[in-house]
Amino acid sequence: METVHTVVDSPLGPLTLVRTADAVSGLYMDQQRHLPDSTRFGARVDAGFDGVTSQLAEYFRGERTAFTVPIAPDGTEFQRRVWAALRTIPYGARWTYRQLAEHLGHPAAIRAVAAANGRNPIGIIVPCHRVVGSDGSLTGYAGGLERKRYLLDLENPYPPGTQDGLF
């Protein structure tokens, strides 16, 4: 399987999109924590990313609430289960790490769930930004807390306790 990448502009700064075969295998922000070695991104190309770039543009314009591009995140079985669960969090909602662990049937695995969440290789599309601390605080986002706040505000501009249904 050939891996290739491209870089696109976004309201969050440059995003590196990585494709393996016909699926997105990475979406990374500039200066993101847990950023893989860029040699794993393959050659830089401009073609073949139209679907994901158009869906991202729609998302940032507030016109898209779910992504339908094929994804292929590389991780352990547990990490892939966490990342799949993240995709069930509704647009505009916020879950706590505890809620995510309970959703997975592992209520005592909060730290393991949080660690897997932090290693998500396909940010935004796999919405790890929708997970917050037990008190609703913004905690641990590999792309930085300013970007997490931006994404949460984009999806739900109402303050906690009004329209988001969690706090």
**Helix H or strand E segment including 95:** strand 95-96
Residues 54 and 97 in one domain: no
103-140 confidence digits (pLDDT tens): 999 999 999 999 999 999 999 999 999 999 888 878 87
The CATH number assigned to the domain holding 44 equals 3.30.160.70
* Active-site choice (128, 131, 132, 142): 128
User: What is the residue range of 134's domain?
Assistant: 77-155
Total domain count for the chain? 2
CA-to-CA distance for 87 and 3, rounded, in angstroms?
23
Position 111, amino acid: R
Residues 6+ apart with CB under 8 A from 49: 6, 8, 17, 19
The CATH number assigned to the domain holding 140 equals 1.10.10.10
The predicted model scores a pTM of 0.89
Residues 54 and 107 in one domain: no
| Residues 134 and 96 sit within 8 Å (Cβ to Cβ) | yes
Residues 88 and 55 in one domain: no
153 is a catalytic site residue: no
Residues 146 and 92 in one domain: yes
CA-to-CA distance for 92 and 13, rounded, in angstroms?
21
- Encoding tokens for residue 118? 């932090």
**Quick one: pLDDT band at residue 162, thresholds 50, 70, 90?**
low
CA-to-CA distance for 5 and 46, rounded, in angstroms?
8
Residues 16 and 41 in one domain: yes
| Residues 86 and 130 sit within 8 Å (Cβ to Cβ) | yes
75-87 confidence digits (pLDDT tens): 999 999 999 999 9
Q: Does pLDDT of 4 surpass 80? A: yes
